Structure formats: structure tokens, C-alpha cells
Structure 1
Amino acid sequence: MPLLVMKFGGTSVADLARIENAATKVQAEVERGYDVIVIVSAMSGKTNELVGWVEGTSKLYDAREYDAVVASGENITAGLMALRLQEMGVPARSWQGWQVPINTTSAHGSARFVSIPRENIDAKFAEGFKVAVVAGFQGVSSEGRITTLGRGGSDTTAVAFAAAFGAERCDIYTDVDGVYTTDPRIVRKARKMDKIAFEEMLELASLGAKVLQTRSVELAMRYKVRLRVLSSFEETDENSGTLVCDEEEIMESKVVSGVAFSRDEAKITLFTIEDRPGVAQAIFGPLADAGVNVDMIVQNISEKNYGGHPGAVTDMTFSVPVNQVPRAQKAMEDAKAAGLIAYDDLVVDTEVAKVSVVGIGMRSQVGVAARMFKALAAENVNIKVIATSEIKISVLIDRKYMELAVQALHDAFDLDKA
């Protein structure tokens, strides 16, 4: 039988009524002739509650026991979904990660997939079961311990199953009806896209769009898993939602497909550092060791630069998530105290935001950057840092202008028009 993977997020299974609604969508696909693997998240808010219980019990908790506790939320949802399907006359069985088994690394809290053997679930389908309901977000290590994949891990679980079982498609049901050109709460004219390329979705997800988890898109792109994002709360058909697919499936792409933003950014500048080989490693090595996620990096000519002569100096600017600023500052101070780097001053700006335009059409079009900068200049928005890739241009600006910048760029690239 053709196989479909359907994933339901926390809001889609938040209570018994919503589980029944999701089960109705699964039943409809079974009636269309599919065998279905359903991946479920914990009920909305349950994972946060479980994490709170762990932290309330032990501040320096054992990561193995953390995983054992927080994985239980998905187990409950999987059992309830299987029961509801059985009540509806659909032959279904629930599976926890260790029962499949979903084999992962032993990195508790951030495990990665090793393998997903098909034999056990295929055997159940052969017995006449039509639906396998699998607890997302979890797996089992080679030591036989429960592991979890990190936040958003159920999306990644769904894509991994679609790849392992050769599914026709992987449907991600959530509380939005697709992928939009930008956040509709900021730009009312934001338009739902019918299709978007893997690369574009990956950039949008990594730049702040919350629709899909970044790892899930990476996995889908690697294994060419066609993803469809659609709403749990609306009637759907084969044309509903947004299809995330290979670039070849999209006949003609707009130059820019979407505008993404990240509100909680910070800019750090080290002034007057030595301009010599190895200085970048001396800065970003300690930051990496401290677990700081560095994004945009710009090396500037310092006001005190002496034209490449002995003693020449430069400035280094980079962005980090605002909640990682204390960790970054300490890493730089410790590196300076250890004699790894020398700088005159470290200045932090925590009132910045990142705004990006993304589109595979940029590869074949000129003038995209000029058009973007013209739109921002017309709104008197000053750019602090610029970073580019083949299909993306990102700028760091004052946070108070973020929404204005998003609206201006959405208009400048006519993203409200199909």
C-alpha cells in the first residue's frame, strides 16, 4: 500500500477533542488507501511542565533521567491517539521510540538518528494494521536508554520516518495553514505560498521562521522528502497548505520568496585587536567552547589601523542571541586574561534585530541588494551589519525599526502578489 507520514504538533493534540479531530484526518487518509505512520508531539504545554518538574527536583540533573521524564509526554499522546483510532474502527497501534526501535546517539537532550529499522512496523502493517502511531521527539541509545532529540524533535522524527519508509509525502499538521511570505501578524498582506524550495525553507527556518524546525528541513532536503505544512483546524484536500519540495518542482520562482526576522539579537564589537593570522580563531574558538552561537561576522578597519605595518589593528563585530551575551562576554574576558587575545574595549548592543530576504531567484537576478537597501533607506532604517549568501541577504538593524523594515521589504519585493 502507498504510505503517508502525518505529524501532529502540540496544539493539534492539546486535548481529547483535538486528538479526535486529528484522528479524523488520519481516518480520511486510510480511507483513501494509505497505510499511515502518525508522529505525535506531547500535548501543548506538557513538555514545559515536565521540564519544570525535573528542574524543580534537581538543578544539576542527570541528563539520562531528564530524557526519561520529558519523553513521557509523547508516550501519552501516542497511546490516546491509537485508542481514539481504534474507537473509530481504524486498526492502529502505538509505538514508543525503543519499540520501533528509533536508534540514536547517546547525546541526551540532543540525540541524532543512527537508524530506523522497518521490520517491526512493516510486520504490523502486514498483519492488517493500517496506522502506526509513533511517539515523536525520542529514541533509544546503544546503551538501551531513552533519548530525546531537542526541541522541535517531532518534526525531525516525522521526516526521518518518511525517509526510512519511502513515504509518498510527509504532512506536518500545525496551527497555521501553511508557510507565509512573512509573519501575518506583522504584515497583514502576507501571502501563503503554494510551494517553496527546500533551500528557501531551510534559510527561513534558520533565520527565525517558526513553522518548521531547522533539522527537519535539513533532513528533508538530504533525502528529498516532500513536506506539506497545513492546518489541523481546517478542512484540507490535496491542494491545501504549502508544499516544501525540490527546486525542480517549482516552475518559476520569485526573486525573493519571503522575509524572515529574529527579534532577540545582540551585536558585540571588540575594538583594537591585533591584525594578524590566527586572531579570528583566538576569538571564535573560546566562543565555540562556551557554547555561544555566533551568526553574522564582520571584520572592520580600525580607526587606529596603521596600514599593515607592525602593530596594525582591526575591529571585530559579530552577532549572538541576546540571552547568550553574558556567556560571550565571559568567554572574551577569560581569553583576554589568558593572553589569547588583546583588545581595548568590548561593546555590546542588545537592542538590535536581524531582518533577512530569502529567495532562490537571487541566483539569476542582479540588483537584489540594491533594491533591499533602497527600501530600507526610504524608511530611514540604518543598517549596522550585512551578511549574504547565494539565496539570502541579512541585515542587523535597531530593534525598534524591525516591523517597519519587514513591511517595507515585503512591499518592495511585491510579496503579496502571486
Structure 2
Amino acid sequence: MNLPPTIADTFISLAAFLGLIVLIRAIRSFDAGSPQTRRFLFGLRVLAVLMVSRVLAWWTGFFVFEAATIIAAGLVPLAAVLVAEALMRRHAPPLTKWIAGGGAASFAVLAFLPDALFGPWLLIGLFLYQLLTLALAGHMAVTRDRKSLSRAENQAVDRIALSLLLILPLLITDFRSTHVDFPVRLGGVAILFLCWLLISLGQRTVSHRDTVVSFVILTAVSLIAALAIVLEAGFDTAALIRTASVVTSAALVAVIWKDSLSLRMEQRRQSLIRHLAEDRIDDTMGFLKELQIHPMVEGALLLEETDLADLDLTSLKTLLSARPLLRASETSALSEAEIEQLAWLFEKYEATHVMLVSKKPFRLIALNMPSVSATPGAETELKVVQRMALLISERTHDRHP
């Protein structure tokens, strides 16, 4: 773990690249077509190019990767202003636009000129340009008209403004010179924190305080782990900083990936609600067949009266009229005959749930939902779907008796 600066910087930059890719995929899965999303994706892709191009420049020394790094770094402030405009639904001041656009164009040209012409002045100019433009974008966020934006929009602006508080102090560590030589570049850590803040926007129950507290806890645990490693191996302070940065970056990538999976699972869990909101409700069979392809109840069986001929239909109809959604484990207040029939029904179709979806004609749906996925929310959604299916069947029956 006594990492040389290049290896530590490489790990952190690649971790930031992975975090950005995860965030890009998460955003695209929800809405990739809106103008606001396109600006977000542009900014995230610029950061991703910056992270990977500078790693390639460090390890290969090729001029094309060095130029790509300067160009991407010059585009970061412009992307920040574009995202700020989209979030606040208003144009940036003309001076801010000129600074952002002019700086990006200037560094796109300067990136291809020999280092001998500018030396360290190019990096100093880039740093001042980034600092000034990001500060102007932050000023736009602070001075915005909160009443003109929705709660969700204000929350998004607040999360990004919060990340800028971390990004700006850490920005200086990405610029090296003979006078400034930090043990590790921390810009990648700031980008990972930005990714975490943005991906947490999809979790409406997570507040700013929850996110900040989680970040503080994660950082503290990473520092303690790094300190234990350094003390065990007898490393110096620089090694402690590099080790802590690597451990924190790895932990942030893991958290971002986990949160993206949570968003994906939430999206799948909402599929039944979307089925009610979007699919056809004028045809019972059409509704039920479309229901069967949804991930949550994929493979559910539609049972007609002929499929239930070996059961006591009269008793079964009476039971399901009173309890239209039954679980295999739900046998309280049932007679022995009813328990025996249900046990045979669940065993025959390898089902965990049976629900009544039509009385005339009598139809059931049998599905298998393992206990590990049968959350209270899923159970409630099944009840909603069952009631909707029954109402559609009654409506269809009344229309075509």
C-alpha cells in the first residue's frame, strides 16, 4: 500500500471514471432525451474524458493524450455553466458566458502548442480559468430565485452547489509545479463525491443531511483504515494521504454502484404501478397478458376454470371472494378442507401467491414471489393490481353481459 504518486493518482482517476460511467448509465436509463439531461450528460462525459485521457498521458507520454487532457479540462467550466443554466432555467450573465466559452475555445487551441512556449503558465491559466468560472456558476446557484423552481429542482441545485464546496478546495491538488507538490491529486475524489450526490437525487427519501453524514462516516472509516495500514507498515505522512485517498475512492465507487443498483431495482419495482398507469384497461385478457411480461410477476400463470377442475370450485370461489389475494403461508382462520385445497393449488403450480382477477368467468393468477423479494411495497402493489384487474373484468362483463 506504499503507493507511488503515479499509481495512487491513476487509481483515483480510474475510480472517478468508473463512478462517472455508472452515473451516466443511471441517468440515461431514466431520461436521455430532454435538453436538461443532454447538458448533464455532456458535462459528465467531459469529466470522464478528462479522467481517462490524463491517465493515458501519464503512462504513455503521447502528445495527443496530453492535448485531450487540456481540452477536456478547458471544457469543464463551460459544461458547469451549461448545467447551471439548465437547472435554473435561466441564461447565465453575458460575462459568464463569454468567460466560459472563450476560455474553452482558447485552451482547445493552446493544447496543441508546444510546452516550451508557455511552460507552467498554461497550467496556471487553466487553474485560474476553472476557479473563476466554477465560482461564477456557484454564484448563479446561490443567487437564484428559489420560488421559480420546483422542490426537486432546488434540491438538485443544492446538491451540486454542495459538491462545488468540496471540488473547489481540492481542485488545486490536481495542478503540480515545483512550488506546489501534493502527495496525491484529489480532484477524482471530489468527482466521486459529485457522482454520489447526483445519484442520490433519485432517492427522494435521502436528505442533504443524510448524504453529508454518510460521506463523513465513509471518509472517517477510510481514514482510520488507512491509518491502521500506515502504522502497521511504518509509512510516512505522504503515504498516509495517498493510502487514505485510494481507500476513500474505492469505497465511493462501491457506494455509487450500490446506489445505482438500488435505483434500478426501484425502477423494476415500480413496473406494476406503470402497468396500471400506462397499459390497456378496456380488455381483461389484454391487461392480464401484458401483466405477465412485467419483471416483477414474470412467468405468472393465468388459470381458467378448466385448469381448476380437480378442485372444489364452489368452495374456492367463496374463499377467494372474501380473500382475493392469498399467500401460501397465509392459512389462518381457514378450515381444513380449504387449507388442503390451497396446498394442492400452490403445490401444483409452484406458486407463492394466488389472486382473483375475474369472477365471471372465474380466473386466477398464480405467481411465484420468493420471500426475499416479497417486500411490503410489493405486496401492496399486488393488491392494487388484483383490484384493478377485478374492476376491469367487472366493467367488461357489464358492457358485454
Bin the TM-score by the shorter chain.
under 0.3
Which structure dedicates a bigger proportion of its chain to strand? Answer: 1
TM-score by length of 1: 0.25
Which structure dedicates a bigger proportion of its chain to helix? Answer: 2
TM-score by length of 2: 0.25
